[in-house]
Structure 1
Amino acid sequence: METMGAVGYPAARERDRALAVLRDWALAVGGAGAGAVTALVGTAFLLAAGVAAVPAAPALAWRPARAALGRALGACSRPLVAIERRRLARLFGTEIAVRPGTARSVGYLAARAPVGLFGGLVLLVFPAGAYLAVSPLEVLDGNSEGIVPAGLVLMYLSVQGTVGLVGTERWLARRLLGPSRQDLMERRIGELTASRAAVVAAVDGERRRIERDLHDGVQQRLVVLGMALGRARRDPGSAKGRELIAQAHEEARGALGDLREVAWRVYPTALAEAGLHAALSGLAERAAVPVALDYTLDRGPGSAVETGAYFVVAEAVTNAVKHSGADSITVAVGTADRGGGGAPARRVVRVRVADNGRGGADPAGTGLAGLAGRAAALDGCLRVDSPPGGPTEITAEFPCA
């Protein structure tokens, strides 16, 4: 049985790999075929737009006429580009999140039309080559020896042409439909501005919370401690004096515990000395609700990411304990591949905190908004999924060092 299993697993993997290759080829062929059809439609649109623009050329010196022409081109080109974006996403796996303007839409349709038509021609070559390769047709002199090699060559050229076509389609989409350098720069500036403001707000909020904890916790205990010692000094040898001293001792212990807790919230010693795993283990042990920790990082992700990941978990666990009514919390820390828009995948540290509470967490709340700002400042992101009735799942991703 063990030998059969050992042999069967590689065979299953090979079968899955072969099915994945066939699926990719089916999607590529389907995308190329659909692209040929949309290229015909795009070519017809461009020809119609050109024919309509010729008699209107003298009127284009008038600004309202140019604006009307732009609106007309936009109304016709944007639906065609939307179809292209869906085709690229579903069949080629290339997501284009930006909605391009009229000029870029028309430019993309004009550049892609010959590529799409060529793709249709490439697809037609394959069945023609297959027919020559298996057909019993003979050449004029009655010899068919040269037909089979020619058919195989045509089939090979069709396969290679399809590979090149998919790459060209993806490149054109990213180049002409994707965000330009200026768009990326403006988006980045906006993200940095927002993250800076969020970090400032989060720091101010943390300072207010520390002040509140010191005022309501440590300061009150020290006041009681001072009063108890002052009363004990008046009658140090009596039973009442000994009781007051014992009370003062308990208040001193409580004040030390509160100070230790405040210091841990500011920056836990275990995080600086032993790393993220030890800090999260200590957090899980101190939580009032059972916390299951799944830590799979094989090395430290860097001090900044460790700090961000720790405070995401600490805030999420604190919120779950205080507000969700959960009786179990799961914390998972590991790595994942993140990509999109045709861009190469990048490695990220993913932190996921889930609880089985009542849900309804507000992502715009002070605590979660502060965590989102902290993640954005590290070029990461934070997502909150907390439908009414639960469960709640908070996921943060940070770029690996």
Structure 2
Amino acid sequence: MTTASVLPPPPPGASAPRVEAPATTVAVPPKVRVTSFRRIAGAAAHLAALGVVGPAVFTALFSLFGSGFGLLPALLIGVVVLVGFVYALFAVAWFERARVDGLYGLGLTGLRPRRSPKTGFVGVLHTIWLQAIDPLQWRAVASFAISTVLGLLTITAISIVSWGIGVAISPIFGWSDTRLFGILPLPGIAAPLTGVAAIVVALGAIVGLAVLHGVIVRAMFVPSREAQLLEQARTSDTRRAGAVRAAEVERTRIERDLHDGVQPRLVSIGMTLGLAQTKIDDDPEAAKALVAEAHASTKSAITELRQLARGIHASVLEDRGLDAALSALASRSHIPVTLDVRLPRRCGRAAEEAVYFAIAETLTNAAKHSRAAACRVDVRVRDDGSLWARVEDDGLGGARVVPGGGLDGIVNRVTAAGGTARIDSPQGGPTTVEVNVPCAS
């Protein structure tokens, strides 16, 4: 199996043409006002709820872990319980990210389960391991734990507020035996004064805990401006490298097609016409046959040039969109292709071109190398606004990413558009190519 998600190194000595990488913008962490009344009230309510629910959740998690660890001698049962513990942590982390994003509007993406690029039983184990060590998951679980502790303190502060209200109004009901902490008596006006002071202090503590909660979760979930700038620079470098490599691979392909296809045919046409010229006086019939042969070869050369131009720029893609372009591509395929394209809207030109050429190259590889009898293409616009495509054939598999090859071109084109490519091709097949590109790229 091959999984391609990074750029292979350029071949030694290859000169890379200058290619303008797609422009990107620097995202700045959102400015969240954790001191607004609405968010303080919401945070206090969240903390109070977590103070009740959180201890029960962690009790269940520790019970799962303890049971799984204790049942490890009964291997299957213990492993199953520990796997359940890992995905219970994921559920808690997913809830915490959704809760924080709903409260503060940080623009967090939803937490998704990790998935291994490997297949079979090894892939299952690797998937569980990736999920168990997922840093985003553990960060969210830590946030849930901190919020639970703050929630317990909030509940304590709420209890003090209730106690303070009772003490403050005690003289109205004639409660003469009012005591602080059940020990110190509060005679006369000392009772209402103590009650009011307790209310003020406890309300201040609740507000402080709510503000502290906002500061902590923002620090945990929103990277600093410096970290975002660094990540943006890395992404820009990766996309620029992908654009350069994609241009290099495309130039090599055009040179190869011209050298191996059109150029020899044009040379042959020239030689045939020259031979016809020598026979036009002595043997007109043979000359006519040679001219007819040259004419047929000229038609073939024009067809090859048209196909080469279509490989460089598909005009139907720009005029009628990805659905129509893929339909035309499937109709020209040497193997039967099942298309399932569901696009509610047009995406950006760079995204559509990257997906189109990835599908075209995959179908070409399937027809040339995989001995496939059928191929299926699925294209969707996902909820996160990305353009996703999946191509699967029933061929022999064993495809590998080779620098300068077709799969290398797919990876680099998709990377240049800011997307990712995943190529899964175990020996014996099937071969699956998945690409995911931001629509706005």
TM-score range, shorter chain: 0.5 to 0.7
* Corresponding letter in the other structure for 1:367: G
Say yes or no: does 1:273 pair with 2:319. Answer: yes
* Shift, 1:370, TM fit: 2.9
Matches within 5 A, 1:12-23: none
* Corresponding letter in the other structure for 1:286: R
CA distance in 1, matches of 2:429, 2:218: 39
SS at match of 1:265: helix
CA gap 1:327/1:87 in 2 versus in 1, 3 angstroms: closer
TM-score, with normalisation over the residues of structure 2?
0.54
Say yes or no: does 1:386 pair with 2:425. Answer: yes
CA distance in 2, matches of 1:332, 1:351: 6
SS at match of 2:421: strand
Instruction: Pick from 146, 150, 174 the counterpart of residue 115 of structure 1.
Output: 150
Q: Is the 8 A contact 2:395 2:428 kept in 1?
A: yes
Report which stretch shifted further, 304-313 or 380-389.
Answer: 380-389
CA gap 1:327/1:38 in 2 versus in 1, 3 angstroms: closer
* Shift, 1:108, TM fit: 6.0
Deviations 1:295-345 (A, max 9, x none): 2113321322221121111111111112211111111122122xxxxxxxx
Say yes or no: does 1:215 pair with 2:259. Answer: yes
Deviations 1:28-56 (A, max 9, x none): 997652347889xxxxxxxxxxxxxxxxx
Deviations 1:135-167 (A, max 9, x none): xxxxxxxxxxxxxxxxxxxxxxxxxxxxxxxxx
Deviations 1:2-39 (A, max 9, x none): xxxxxxxxxxxxxxxxxxxxxxxxxx997652347889
SS at match of 2:338: strand
Deviations 1:77-121 (A, max 9, x none): xxxxx9996563376576498749xxx99x969944623646998
Q: Is the 8 A contact 1:191 1:376 kept in 2?
A: no
CA gap 1:86/1:309 in 2 versus in 1, 3 angstroms: closer
Say yes or no: does 1:305 pair with 2:340. Answer: no
* Shift, 1:188, TM fit: 2.5
Deviations 1:232-285 (A, max 9, x none): 011225332122112101110111011011101110222233222222111111
CA distance in 2, matches of 1:364, 1:120: 61
Instruction: Pick from 234, 246, 249 the counterpart of residue 205 of structure 1.
Output: 249
CA gap 1:234/1:120 in 2 versus in 1, 3 angstroms: farther
The percent of aligned pairs where both chains have the same amino acid is 37
Report which stretch shifted further, 200-209 or 235-244.
Answer: 235-244
CA distance in 1, matches of 2:370, 2:151: 54
Matches within 5 A, 1:286-297: 286-297=332-343
* RMSD, aligned α-carbons: 3.9
Matches within 5 A, 1:22-33: 33=56
Q: Is the 8 A contact 2:397 2:431 kept in 1?
A: yes
CA gap 1:170/1:372 in 2 versus in 1, 3 angstroms: farther
- Give 1 or 2: higher helix fraction: 1
Say yes or no: does 1:356 pair with 2:394. Answer: yes
CA gap 1:93/1:367 in 2 versus in 1, 3 angstroms: farther
CA gap 1:317/1:34 in 2 versus in 1, 3 angstroms: same
Report which stretch shifted further, 366-375 or 252-261.
Answer: 366-375
Matches within 5 A, 1:114-193: 114-115=149-150, 117=152, 175-176=219-220, 179-193=223-237
Deviations 1:210-243 (A, max 9, x none): 0111111111111110111111011225332122
CA distance in 1, matches of 2:395, 2:154: 53
1:246 maps to what in 2? 292
1:369 maps to what in 2? 408
Q: Is the 8 A contact 2:344 2:381 kept in 1?
A: no
What are the ranges of 5 or more consecutive residues in structure 1 without an aligned counterpart? 1-27, 40-81, 123-167, 338-345
Q: Is the 8 A contact 1:324 1:358 kept in 2?
A: yes
Q: Is the 8 A contact 2:239 2:418 kept in 1?
A: no
TM-score, with normalisation over the residues of structure 1?
0.59
Matches within 5 A, 1:246-265: 246-265=292-311
SS at match of 1:332: strand
2:329 maps to what in 1? 283
Q: Is the 8 A contact 2:269 2:294 kept in 1?
A: yes
The count of residues paired between Structure 1 and Structure 2 equals 278
Q: Is the 8 A contact 1:386 1:393 kept in 2?
A: yes
CA gap 1:327/1:232 in 2 versus in 1, 3 angstroms: same
CA gap 1:84/1:353 in 2 versus in 1, 3 angstroms: closer
Q: Is the 8 A contact 1:359 1:390 kept in 2?
A: yes
Report which stretch shifted further, 292-301 or 252-261.
Answer: 292-301
1:89 maps to what in 2? 93
Q: Is the 8 A contact 1:36 1:119 kept in 2?
A: no
CA gap 1:310/1:173 in 2 versus in 1, 3 angstroms: same
Q: Is the 8 A contact 2:246 2:416 kept in 1?
A: no
1:11 maps to what in 2? none
CA gap 1:239/1:398 in 2 versus in 1, 3 angstroms: same
CA distance in 2, matches of 1:181, 1:87: 29
CA gap 1:356/1:211 in 2 versus in 1, 3 angstroms: same
SS at match of 2:343: coil
* Corresponding letter in the other structure for 2:303: G
CA distance in 2, matches of 1:281, 1:206: 23
SS at match of 2:369: helix
CA distance in 1, matches of 2:87, 2:300: 66
Instruction: Pick from 272, 283, 286 the counterpart of residue 228 of structure 1.
Output: 272
Q: Is the 8 A contact 1:192 1:377 kept in 2?
A: no
SS at match of 1:379: coil
CA gap 1:356/1:37 in 2 versus in 1, 3 angstroms: closer
What are the ranges of 5 or more consecutive residues in structure 2 without an aligned counterpart? 1-50, 63-85, 99-110, 113-132, 158-211
SS at match of 2:372: coil
